[in-house]
Amino acid sequence: MSDSPNSDFIRDIIADDLATGKHSTIITRFPPEPNGYLHIGHAKSICLNFGVSLENAGVGAKCHLRFDDTNPEKEETEYVESIKTDVSWLGFDWGTNLYYASNYFDFYHDCAIHLIKSGKAYVDHQTAEEMRVNRGNLSVPGTPSPYRDRSVEENLELFAKMKAGDFKEGECILRAKIDMASPNLNLRDPALYRIMHAEHHNTGSAWCIYPMYDFAHPLEDALEHITHSLCTLEFENHRPLYDWFIENCPVPSKPRQIEFARLNLTYTVMSKRKLLQLVKENHVSGWDDPRMPTISGLRRRGFTPESIRNFCKRIGITKFNGTTDVALLEFEVRDHLNKVAPRRMAVLDPVKVVLENWTTGAVETIELVNNPENPEEGTRQVPLTSEVWIEREDFMEDPPKKFYRLGPDRHVRLKGGYIIRCTGFDKDADGNITEIRAVTIPGTLGADTPEGIECRAAIHWVSVEKGVEAEVRLYDRLFTTEDPDAAEGGFVTVLNPDSLKVITAKVEPALAAAEPGFRCQFERTGYFIADSKEHVPGSKPVFNRTVALRDTSKKK
Ligand code: ATP
Ligand code: MG
């Protein structure tokens, strides 16, 4: 799948605005609040905003990365750095267009003064509870504040006092004066500024009043000459307010807000607050735990940027909220890795096969194709010795007719190598197979199955003598229910206790030297990546399963 997008209603609007000359170029923005790590939902927004700018590079389109850091209490530099890393990793470049909303505090303040002077904002001393009650609801119009009609001079003076720190938090706020009877509750004199005696990471203690999101966001967009401000559907009811600020403040441009449906995924929680809770309560090892839907978690799990971009392209942009099957995301990574991941052999549940006719101590080199999907990647040499590990499930003591792998007196091919015939096996007291005996069939290396032998399958294997052990982390979905947000006892009550299974596997020797971040297919089992944090080349191989080879979650 190429990276070029299908069209959608937003791209249609943009194409139209260029065609009619409404705009001569396009500027979009991705505006994360640095209060958590980015997740796959953010990827949808990133692919849209940066995608649109890339597609319109011909007219000099740009996409700004803007940190929406106006809230003094939450932001941390760790989050800023992780967000930059993740956007870059996804394959997007903001170039010189990096902005911080906290650099515009003076401008928001100027706009507030402008609104006060136009008689469109006032300082309100009602308590939060009074304001809530007086706001009314969908069937009851709001009740105007007793402070609503104070003079411009008085408002200017009180707002100056708010700014000077003369009031305590909650003592008063600055509100827009719009319409207390509006059917849209967002227009019933929304708050513009609140008092917060808090240090800000960028402006220190310069301010003790901070702008509300709904007020600051359109001003940020306008200051940056954003043409199309793309946000999720929850903000649809806020658009009249967005437009009101653009109309009534001294802004240098008129951005247009357009809403699209957010991404929701089955078996996944997506809110940063909930992801933070998973981290804080140690349900996962951190923001980059491979089970997390964060970009850093998906990266560590082995997802490729291409697979995430392809996923975003496939789901498209619409106006309808829905939930996407997480299997679609898994499909995309499988599809991409099938093309690019080299093949390696690893036995996850090993049982030993002793080759009885093997010359003691002999080591033969077997040549294996690295990637049948891409012959240019050539071959590699894997040692075969007198004993090999195979998967326990590739042997059956009493196999049914359709089982084509190993069983007493049956034949199977060791992938890339000889056909072997099983001559016997041992069991322990519990009936578990402890050892299988077999002989190699001479002349079958690199040759077709000889006449008179039935051999219909090839199984992967690892030399007992030359293979190495690796820690393998088998990940499954983090939650047991499709909609963890709807769980009665809260999403932590439906955590999957089997979402991580750690096993010791036998792997072909060269895998021990793999670099962290090396991705491959373990033949016949799945796609894996050498863990970026805990895999140590040469001494401690650790592999994470990105996804199993086949989707086994749904019984067909
Ligand atoms: P969360 O609800 O997870 O806390 P947020 O919307 O508060 O997310 P922001 O940092 O404000 O997080 O989001 C930055 C941008 O990413 C916003 O433009 C927002 O619309 C978009 N975004 C966030 N979540 C999703 C999602 N699930 N699908 C699509 N876009 C999203
Ligand atoms: Mg937010």
Q: In the chain, list all ranges with CATH 2.40.240.10.
A: 272-340+470-548, 345-466
Question: What's the Cα-to-Cα distance from 133 to each of 112, 176, 188, 390, rounded to whole Å?
Answer: 25, 17, 12, 70
Say yes or no: CB of residue 31 within 6 Å of ligand 1: yes
Say yes or no: CB of residue 293 within 6 Å of ligand 1: no
Task: Please tell me the residue having the least CA distance from ligand 1 atom 6.
Answer: 32
Give 92-138 pLDDT, tens digit per residue. 999 999 999 999 999 999 999 999 999 999 999 999 999 999 999 99
- What is the CATH number assigned to the segment(s) 272-340+470-548? 2.40.240.10
What does the pLDDT read at residue 4? 53
Give 32-51 pLDDT, tens digit per residue. 999 999 999 999 999 999 99
The ligand placed nearest to the CA atom of residue 32 is: 1
Question: What tokens does 200 get?
Answer: 């800000």
The pLDDT confidence band at residue 2, using thresholds 50, 70 and 90, is very low
- Does 387 score more than 90 pLDDT? yes
Q: CA dihedral defined by 426, 428, 430, 436, rounded to 10 degrees? A: -30
* Three-class secondary structure of residue 504 per DSSP: strand
The pLDDT confidence band at residue 203, using thresholds 50, 70 and 90, is very high
Q: Which CATH architecture has domain 345-466?
A: Beta Barrel (2.40)
- Known catalytic membership, residue 272: yes
| Stretch 51-61: mean pLDDT | 98
The ligand placed nearest to the CA atom of residue 33 is: 1
The pLDDT confidence band at residue 77, using thresholds 50, 70 and 90, is confident
Give 449-470 pLDDT, tens digit per residue. 999 999 999 999 999 999 999 9
Task: Please tell me the residue having the least CA distance from ligand 1 atom 22.
Answer: 42
Count of H-run helices and E-run strands, the chain: 12, 25
What does the pLDDT read at residue 555? 42
Q: In the chain, list all ranges with CATH 3.40.50.620.
A: 9-260
- Known catalytic membership, residue 33: yes
Catalytic residue among 74, 135, 262, 380: 262
Locate all alpha helices (DSSP H) within 261-302, ordered by sequence.
272-280, 295-301
The pLDDT confidence band at residue 357, using thresholds 50, 70 and 90, is very high
What does the pLDDT read at residue 553? 64
How far is ligand 1, taken at its centre, from the CA of residue 41, in Å?
A: 7
> Phi, psi at residue 350, to the nearest 5°?
-80, 145
Give 300-328 pLDDT, tens digit per residue. 999 999 999 999 999 999 999 999 999 99
Task: Sort 481 into a burial class: Cβ within 10 Å, 0-12 / 13-18 / 19+.
Answer: middle
Task: Please tell me the residue having the least CA distance from ligand 1 atom 1.
Answer: 271
- Does 3 score more than 60 pLDDT? no
Say yes or no: CB of residue 263 within 6 Å of ligand 1: yes
- Does 268 score more than 70 pLDDT? yes
What does the pLDDT read at residue 76? 79
CB 101 within 8 A of CB 227: no
| Stretch 177-197: mean pLDDT | 98
The ligand placed nearest to the CA atom of residue 221 is: 1
The pLDDT confidence band at residue 445, using thresholds 50, 70 and 90, is very high
Say yes or no: CB of residue 201 within 6 Å of ligand 1: no
What does the pLDDT read at residue 1? 38
DSSP type of residue 375: G
- Ligand 1 test: best mutation among 37, 80, 232, most atoms within 8 Å of CB? 232
Say yes or no: CB of residue 271 within 6 Å of ligand 1: yes
Sign for the pseudo-dihedral over CA of 485, 90, 75, 32: negative
Say yes or no: CB of residue 111 within 6 Å of ligand 1: no
| Stretch 386-404: mean pLDDT | 96
Crossing angle of helices 9-19 and 40-55, rounded to 10°: 20
Question: What tokens does 441 get?
Answer: 């069939």
Ligand 1 atom with least separation from CA of 46? 16
Question: What tokens does 203 get?
Answer: 């402006």
How many CB atoms lie under 10 A from the CB of residue 194? Answer: 17
Task: Please tell me the residue having the least CA distance from ligand 1 atom 16.
Answer: 42
Question: What tokens does 258 get?
Answer: 């357009």
Task: Please tell me the residue having the least CA distance from ligand 1 atom 2.
Answer: 271
Question: What's the Cα-to-Cα distance from 250 to each of 118, 223, 254, 368, rounded to whole Å?
Answer: 11, 10, 10, 69
How far is ligand 1, taken at its centre, from the CA of residue 45, in Å?
A: 8
Domain 9-260, classified CATH 3.10.150.10, yes or no: no
CB 116 within 8 A of CB 160: no
Q: What is the DSSP string of 123-192?
A: EE---HHHHHHHT--SSS-----TTTT--HHHHHHHHHHHHHT-S-TTS-EEEE-S-TT-SSGGGSS-EE
- Known catalytic membership, residue 401: no
E strands along 298-418, which residues?
343-344, 346-347, 350-355, 364-369, 379-384, 387-391, 411-414
How far is ligand 2, taken at its centre, from the CA of residue 52, in Å?
A: 22
How far is ligand 1, taken at its centre, from the CA of residue 142, in Å?
A: 30
The pLDDT confidence band at residue 556, using thresholds 50, 70 and 90, is very low
How far is ligand 2, taken at its centre, from the CA of residue 33, in Å?
A: 6
* Three-class secondary structure of residue 276 per DSSP: helix
Catalytic residue among 188, 272, 299, 524: 272
What does the pLDDT read at residue 551? 80
Mean pLDDT rounded to a whole number for the chain: 96
| Stretch 367-380: mean pLDDT | 94
How far is ligand 2, taken at its centre, from the CA of residue 34, in Å?
A: 9
